């Protein structure tokens, strides 16, 4: 048995009831369940539709994402998340580079590395080198003034954790950023690269070994073994080429607003929804989301 989920950006609820109804009829699906009016709906299917990707492509023009996945085991026990352009809306190294006056050069390298055109480790070493002599205090300034959380992240973490899931943040970025983002969102652990500092300034070096694609896969292997769960119990989310290893190994690998070359290799592609899409595709209804409002 499979489940087809249609969803859109919660800030722009464009999911017309006629759409899931017509698709359900075309595919011979079961009863429609609305997870959130105008935002997310799902229905069961006996088999995987042969024209799934054709329909997916058509729906993209309507601002709607389509995910079809096995029904069994879709509610996961662990979240393994990338940070840059996934849990936050920026690339930290690009923001540091702007402060260092080398923004355009670093952004170009970042884009090519995330699209898989450059070796990740070499690209990171080159970009960090361009930050040499930047005052360490700039990190706090960037965190305060330039870094914003991706919409839906707090609800995703709070809801999965309230259901007993474990959450790990694994980034090719830097511990100075993952530590704060992890603490703010409620991740159980975080792993990233460490920027080396001497006399209050960045040395232009990162500690070795560099955490890249293989290190994210190792995190998946190590944490699942420690928790006594299978890789099928994991939902991984990311957007760059260095995320593909963990996205392909996890039970559910979500390409979130990903580079085209990355999305093309993933079965779950979210281009319109925010991070709450990861709850909807697990079958959580909006009224099951954990309240994260302040006060």
Catalytic center residues:
82, 84
Kindly state the DSSP code that residue 150 receives in the 8-state scheme: P
How far is residue 289's CA from residue 184's CA, in Å, rounded to a whole number?
18
Here the tokens at position 255 are 């390409």
How far is residue 219's CA from residue 124's CA, in Å, rounded to a whole number?
19
Residue by residue, DSSP assigns 263-281 as HTT-SEEESSS-TTHHHHT
How far is residue 233's CA from residue 76's CA, in Å, rounded to a whole number?
5
Asked whether 93 and 113 are in contact (CB, 8 A), the reply is: no
| Residue 41: closest CA among 63, 24, 62 | 24
Here the tokens at position 139 are 């990190």
């Amino acid at each position: 048995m499979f489940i087809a989920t249609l969803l859109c950006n919660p800030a722009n609820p464009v999911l017309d009831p006629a759409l899931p109804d017509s698709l359900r009829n075309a595919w011979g699906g079961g009863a429609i369940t609305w997870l959130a009016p105008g935002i997310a709906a799902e229905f069961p299917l006996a088999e995987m539709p042969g024209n799934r990707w054709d329909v997916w492509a058509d729906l993209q023009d309507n601002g709607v994402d389509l995910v079809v996945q096995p029904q069994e085991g879709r509610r996961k026990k662990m979240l393994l998340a990338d940070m840059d352009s996934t849990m936050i809306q920026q690339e930290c190294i690009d923001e540091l580079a702007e402060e260092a006056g080398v923004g355009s050069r670093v952004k170009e390298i970042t884009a090519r590395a995330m699209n898989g055109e450059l070796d990740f480790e070499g690209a990171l070493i080159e970009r960090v080198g361009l930050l040499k002599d930047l005052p360490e205090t700039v990190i706090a300034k960037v965190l305060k003034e330039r870094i914003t959380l991706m919409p839906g992240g707090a609800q995703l973490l709070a809801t999965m954790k309230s259901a007993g899931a474990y959450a790990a943040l694994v980034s090719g970025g830097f511990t100075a950023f993952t530590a704060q983002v992890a603490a703010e969102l409620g991740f159980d652990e975080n792993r990233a690269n460490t920027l080396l500092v001497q006399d209050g300034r960045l040395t232009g070096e990162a500690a070795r070994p560099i955490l890249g694609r293989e290190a994210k896969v190792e995190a998946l292997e190590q944490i699942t073994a420690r928790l006594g769960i299978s890789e099928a119990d994991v939902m991984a989310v990311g957007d760059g080429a260095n995320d593909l290893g963990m996205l392909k190994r996890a039970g559910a690998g979500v390409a979130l607003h990903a580079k085209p070359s990355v999305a093309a290799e993933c079965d779950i592609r979210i281009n319109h929804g925010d991070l709450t899409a990861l709850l909807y595709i697990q079958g959580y209804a909006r009224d099951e989301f954990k309240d994260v409002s302040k006060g």
